[in-house]
Amino acid sequence: YAADGTFSPYGALLTAVNAASEGDTIKLLHDYTVTTPQNTEYNLPANAVLDLNGKALTIPYMQAIFQGENITIQNGRISSTADYGLFLGNGTILTTSVTVQDVSLDCGINAYYAQATLKNVTVDASGRKYHAVFCDAGSDVTVESGSYTQSAQGHSGLVFGGGDDPEDDPGKLTIVGGTFYGAVGIYDRREGTPVSDYLVITGGSFSEDPSAYVPEGYEVSGRGPYTVSEKPAPTPPTEDD
């Protein structure tokens, strides 16, 4: 759907993406399996929406990498036999900023040189090898809500810490809400850098203790699930105190 309300059907998702203009909505009309080669970029125009329309989008390993400025992927299912089915960003355009909303996945999400916000996203990576959400180099991911389940070998949320190579940009993960089944953590953190450079948790529910990533002014309650919330303001003294 174009921003002016006109409608044009396309037989392939990449064709529709390449034909879209700023602000357009690309809507799936039926379940669809991506057939483009590995490392194919789906570069959406600014402010465009990929509306899954309640349908299933199946993406074999890295056969669709989504990029674009202020784009949205919403309202449906993403499936893959790969450990990561949804790749956000490829580092080849200046800005990738994407909101993923009301989407369920049976595979992980990988963000690479991309800003991403996850709202009401359900990720079940229990049948995969790696992580529900992986914040790779140059990524900045905010989780607002949803449910994130790790694999047996992975994390529900993991951040690349930059390692020893100064040419590698670290990722960052900010969790303000959501339910996490499995550990969250930082991989290959640069020596001497604070954890808050990479992973900050100010809300949400966790099956494993997230205290190491909770900043001042917030607290962890419970013992599995653990709940993170803002500390209540101190009660001001009364005249009788």
Quote the CA–CA distance of 128 and 134 in Å, as a whole number.
13
What's the token pair of residue 130? 């790696």
Encode pLDDT of 154-175 as tens digits.
899 999 998 887 778 999 999 9
pLDDT of residue 200: 98
Alpha helices in the chain (DSSP H): 13-19
Encode pLDDT of 97-144 as tens digits.
999 999 999 999 999 999 999 999 999 999 999 999 999 999 999 999
Quote the CA–CA distance of 122 and 112 in Å, as a whole number.
20
